[in-house]
Amino acid sequence: MLSAYGFSAKADLLQQLLDLNRSVAQKVGASGTATAPGLPPIYPDPTRLISADCLGPPSP
Q: Answer whether 0.85 is exceeded by the pTM.
A: no
State residue 56's pLDDT score. Answer: 66
Which has the minimum average pLDDT: 15-19, 30-34, 48-52, 54-58? 54-58
Helix/strand/coil (H, E, C) string of 3-53? HHHCCCCCCCHHHHHHHHHHHHHHHHHHHCCCCCCCCCCCCCCHHHHCCCC
In-domain check, residue 6:
yes
State residue 48's pLDDT score. Answer: 81
Most confident of 5-14, 20-29, 44-53: 5-14
Helix, strand or coil, per DSSP, at residue 54? coil
In-domain check, residue 58:
no
- Domain count within the chain: 1
Domain of residue 6, residue span: 1-29
Average pLDDT over residues 14-30: 90
In-domain check, residue 22:
yes
Average pLDDT over residues 14-25: 92
